Amino acid sequence: MNTGNADLIRIIRAQVQKRGPISFAWFMQQALYHPEHGYYSSGRCVIGRKGDYFTNVAVGPLFGQLLAAQFSEIWERLGKMNNFVIVEQGAHDGQFAWDVLEFVQKRLPEFFDALRYRILEPFPILEEQQRQRLEAFGDKVEWRDSPEPFTGVHFSNELLDAMPVRLISDGTEKLVGLNGDNFVFVERPVDKTRFNQAALEWIDQIAGNLQRGYVIAIDYGFLDEEFERNVQVRARHRHLDSSFEQIGDADVTMSVHWKSIVERAQANGLRVAGFTDQHHFLTGIICQFDRGGSPERPAGDWGQSPLPDSAKAKRELQTLLHPEMLGRAFQVLALAKDVNVEVPPLAGFEFARQLDQSR
């Protein structure tokens, strides 16, 4: 028995009845992004304690503050240029943008003056939420519904795992069919086709628009060999057993296959500037704060460290860093165009191992 948004279930069922079994990528696109009824596009998704699941952003402001420092180092490397653009994609309710901008405005005023914050947002209802949250920053923030050329940094947290995927494994594809009125998986042989086409097209687009600077993507996944094609469905902090439960009311994700994204990025002229887990990435940034810059690694003045002395903020830090919590679950990939990625690495990758040893 399928559960979820009744209108959406009717729409999907009618399409499967008309067309026969359809790819899981199409089903996932409807469940998350159907213009009226999708979990994200309808604005129904709530992240955090009162919502369906936690992200780094929902843990508290520290995550955005540490990333703000990393963006500042990138700005310094690009020659402290004017009109440095931070592009965020998957900005959801604008919380990360708020955490970054508030910190930069208070602690890094020179950087604040030079930057523009651009949110790539295809869904009007989310753009409206972001505009309300970020009103205080006036025209520092701009919105686009698709990528445009930029120099600076493109950032995303848990964007890639929310991109539709086909379920292909060992020459077989699982399609979404019907048994009576209920959705079921139907297996069909398939030629070797990209299972994560949307993520590959995403990096094509971003690489095409990045004129100079970095792409930083944080997500959970696997480099290659240990990759698991497991779809996860989450609602109210519970993992559901089936993709056909709470359709349109639950989050659907697939872990990221980093290797294919790296290869596609390289084919587009980007270079790997670092790959590591979140624990090592954030630790590198924190150490940079503690050091306050050095002749070998001039960090500029990042100002006073945002590191916590309240019990609440210490818990935030622990959640982000702890290997059993988010520290190992997430990885960070940085790609670069037209910048020297050799030495020294960005602060976040100071403790990273080589790409092929990073798991």
Ligand X SMILES: C[S@@+](CC[C@H](N)C(=O)[O-])C[C@H]1O[C@@H](n2cnc3c(N)ncnc32)[C@H](O)[C@@H]1O
Binding site for ligand X (CB under 6 A): 40, 47, 55-58, 89-90, 92, 120-123, 126, 157-159, 162
Residue 219: CB minimum distance to ligand X, A:
9
Which of 21, 319 has the CB closer to ligand X?
319
Identity of the residue, 77 or 131, whose beta carbon is nearer to ligand X in the bound complex? 131
Q: How far is the CB of 350 from ligand X (least distance, A)?
A: 24
The C-alpha torsion from 206 through 207 and 208 to 212, rounded to 10°, is 110
Buried b (16+ CB within 10 A) or exposed e, 25-39: bbbbbbbbbbeebbb
Q: How far is the CB of 177 from ligand X (least distance, A)?
A: 26
- By beta-carbon proximity to ligand X, the closer residue of 56 and 278 is 56
Name which of 92 and 174 has its Cβ closer to ligand X.
Answer: 92
Nearer to ligand X, 55 or 288 (CB): 55
Using CB positions, name the residue nearest to ligand X. 90
Q: How far is the CB of 333 from ligand X (least distance, A)?
A: 15
Instruction: Please report how close the Cβ of residue 304 comes to ligand X at its closest, in angstroms.
Output: 26
Query: Toward ligand X, which CB reaches closer, 93 or 350?
Result: 93
We find the least distance from the C-beta atom of residue 88 to ligand X, in angstroms, to be 8
**Which residues are CB-contacts of 89 (< 8 A; sequence separation ≥ 6)?**
119, 120, 154, 155, 156, 159
Sequence-ordered strand ranges (E) for the chain: 22-23, 84-89, 115-120, 141-144, 150-157, 167-169, 172-179, 182-189, 210-219, 221-222, 231-235, 238-239, 251-254, 256-257, 271-277, 331-337
C-alpha pair distances (Å), 81 with each of 85, 114, 279, 284: 10, 7, 30, 24
Strand partners, 222: 257
Shortest gap between Cβ of 90 and ligand X (angstroms)?
Answer: 3
Instruction: For the CB of residue 309, give the shortest distance to ligand X in the complex, in Å.
Output: 25
| Residues 6+ positions from 210 with CB-CB distance below 8 Å | 150, 151, 154, 270, 337
| 206: phi then psi, degrees, rounded to nearest 5 | -70, -45
| Rounded distance between C-alpha atoms, residue 331 and residue 351, angstroms | 13
Residues 6+ apart with CB under 8 A from 262: 272, 275, 333, 335, 355
Question: Which of 74/206 has CB closer to ligand X?
Answer: 206
Tokens at 143, concatenated: 């919105």
SS3 298: coil
- Report residue 100 as tokens: 């970054």
CA distance 216 to 68: 12
Using the minimum distance from each CB to ligand X, give the nearer residue, 67 or 346. 67
